[in-house]
Chain A
Amino acid sequence: MGVATGVAVAQAPAGGDARRGSLTVVGTGIDVASHLTPAARGAIEGADEVLYLLADPVAALRVEALNPRARSLDRYYGATKPRRETYAEIVDAIVGAVTGGVRVCAVLYGHPGVFALPGHEAIARVRAAGLPARMLPAVSALDCLLADLGIDPATTGLQTYEATYFFVRRPPVDPRATIVLLQVGMLGESGGAATDAVPGRFAVLLERLAELYGPERDAVLYEASPFPGTAPSLTPVRLGEPDAVAPALMATLCVLSGR
């Protein structure tokens, strides 16, 4: 599934040259001071136009310092505006700049292709238009979780879902393996901001997980720290006590392996 609104055609505005348009999609990682790779930094610095979507103002400032032509994509979001519409507009903005004949760097937080739709979609459309596009890997929130919680997927197995997908689709799970549900802070939300309904949905989610894993299984609400020297946020969760906690906006729920 994508958000493409149509296949882009390489078409330059007057004075532009679509043949030199290109797209590089990079991620800043999570830690604002240490996760940006040299390759991503080079792509930002060398771009004619930088379009960014970041979760932290320090990261935004850094990107703007690396390239004064950087512009935020945050303006496409609205509290009640469907995110699907937002993503389509973001992809249109990125692809439109590339087909306009400039070297574009799209910058997303974390890994630009992990639980991040617009980068993949923009690359597909730019390539369909006959122009070069690539994605550079980066540190994702999932990578931070594995490091901070000491989880090796080779030992425990690992299942990862977007929380709303898991909530709605109820995919089959291996109850012996670790499961990671991202975006629990936006559970069931289709707009740009969380509503008061999220805690209630989260309680139902925990009840379902308790049925699958047993009420005694250890779980944790996790939030990676974007700041060096500051520990991640870790809140233990008992699946059998669904009313005990409410997830923060950027939280991830991890049900630990029973092995």
Chain B
Amino acid sequence: MASVTSEPLTDLFLRLADDPSLLEAYERDPRSALIAAGLGAGEIDTALHSPEAMRAAVDAELDGDPELRRLVTTPRMSTQTPLEPEPDEPPEPDEPDPDEPPAPNDSWESRPA
């Protein structure tokens, strides 16, 4: 079982991944599990507020650990619009909106839509 005992929130999620009964209990009552993990009431309120808040709490934990700081990265996209026009490209639409923001600085994106 993975463990990072000095990071209580991260450690809790790692234990949840390896323990179905603990996961079931957590999903039933996350607040109690977080208290048992050593988090304070304020931290729990913040973390449970939204996925972004929980992510920030996990990042803050790991960012304080010199060994684990490397894991705190920006989420990355793993796909992108194809470069080539499709063989049966539909007709060009109407004139672009004059208020439209400038196209990104990439050849495929700067083509008239």
Binding site for B on A (CB under 8 A): 1, 32-34, 36, 53, 55-58, 60-62, 64-66, 72, 74, 77, 82-84, 87, 108-109, 115-118, 162, 164-165, 167-172, 183, 186, 188-190, 192-193, 197, 200-201, 204, 207, 223-233, 248-250
Contact = CB atoms under 8 A, between A and B. Distances in A.
B68 A57 contact: yes
Given A33-B17, A60-B71, A168-B113, A53 B23 contact: no
Rank and list the top 3 A-B pairs by shortest CB-CB distance, nearest first.
A65-B2, A229-B30, A1-B82
Given A227-B51, A232-B51, A189 B81 contact: no
A230 B50 CA distance: 6
A57 B73 contact: yes
Interface residues of B, number: 55
A53 B10 contact: no
A77 B10 contact: no
A225 B79 contact: no
B78 A53 contact: yes
Contact of A250 (B75, B103, B106): B75
Contacts, number: 158
A36 B17 contact: yes
A55 B77 CA distance: 9
A207 B101 CA distance: 13
B22 to A, nearest CB: 9
B108 to A, nearest CB: 8
A106 B100 CA distance: 39
A172 B90 contact: yes
Contacts of A231: 50-51
Contact of B109 (A58, A109, A164, A223): A164
